[in-house]
Amino acid sequence: MQRVALVTGSSRGIGFEVARQLAARGDRVIVTSRRRESAEKAAKRIGHDSIPHELDVSREDSIDALGSFIERELRQLDVLVNNAAILLDEGRPLSSVPASDFEATFRANVFGPFLVTKRLAPLLRKSAQARVVNVSSGAGQLSSMTSYAPSYSASKAALNAITILFASDLRNARVNCVDPGWVRTDMGGSSAPRSVEEGADGIVWLATLPGNGPTGGFFHDRKRIAW
């Protein structure tokens, strides 16, 4: 049976490349963006019967609308890649970060993946091939955290914690988080050393793990790394 995969924030950058690779492997991919037009353009470029849908992970009503669409029209979900994220406070000390930026970052980077996974958990529980991949960052490693981007780093550390908890909750699934590295995207900038293909590799690997693959881990370049 063909798998159905949802990739959040997949109209550009790493998310687009992940969606493209999963579709090329035979998955039916739901391509999402905050703007429906962007999702439609990306899905058309990807092809392979990709499905565009509007999704703003910072809004629970938008998440619920997508969940209802999947339940009604597709009736299955096998792969969830929580990729959508924002970066608002690069290069600022924590004491100067506005509370509104800190809250917005956590709403998109933590509450978003939490609410999306929670909303779609019933479908994932029904899948014999359930895979959840949370796109984290080396900036979220407590073992080496710096003041690079305080709210972003803290949000990714929280996302790592959520990964462990969902791995325990969704026992039938393989639930992991991944650091794609510093990638040349709108967020990473043009001076980043890694291509989107390199950034997507570990995500696609985790999304296509065998049934006996790892769960509850944090990975970079297909190797487990410290929290």
What percent of the residues of the chain are helix, what percent strand, and what percent coil, each to the nearest 5? 45, 15, 40
Averaged pLDDT, 42-54: 97
- Could you say which DSSP state residue 141 is in? -
Burial class of residue 212, CB neighbours in 10 A (0-12, 13-18, 19+): exposed
**44 noted as active-site residue:** no
- Side-chain-side CA neighbours of 65 within 13 Å: the count stands at 12
Say how many CA atoms lie within 13 Å of 168 toward its Cβ. 5
| Alpha carbon separation from 135 to 9, 159, 165, 167 (Å, rounded) | 11, 9, 15, 15
What would the pLDDT profile of 186-215 be if each residue is shown by its tens digit?
877 788 788 999 999 999 999 999 999 999
Which of 41, 126, 148, 156 is flagged as catalytic?
A: 156
Q: What is the largest CA-CA distance in the chain?
A: 52
128-151 pLDDT, tens digit each: 999 999 999 999 999 999 888 999
- Residue 182 is predicted with a pLDDT of 80
What integer pLDDT is reported at residue 15 of this predicted model?
A: 97
- Confidence band of 97 (pLDDT split at 50, 70, 90): very high
Single out the catalytic residue among 41, 118, 152, 223: 152
Domain CATH code at residue 199: 3.40.50.720
pLDDT at 106 over 90: yes
Give the tens place of pLDDT for each residue, 19-38: 999 999 999 999 999 999 99
Structurally, the chain folds into a number of domains equal to 1
- Give the per-residue pLDDT at 104: 98
Residue in the structure block whose two tokens are 């019967």: 49
Q: Is there a catalytic annotation at residue 152?
A: yes
pLDDT of residue 188: 79
For residues 92-120, average pLDDT? 97
CA atoms within 13 A on the CB side of 137: 27
Domain interval for residue 28: 4-224
Q: What gap in Å lies between CA 172 and CA 56, rounded to an integer?
A: 27
Is the whole-model pTM more than 0.85? yes
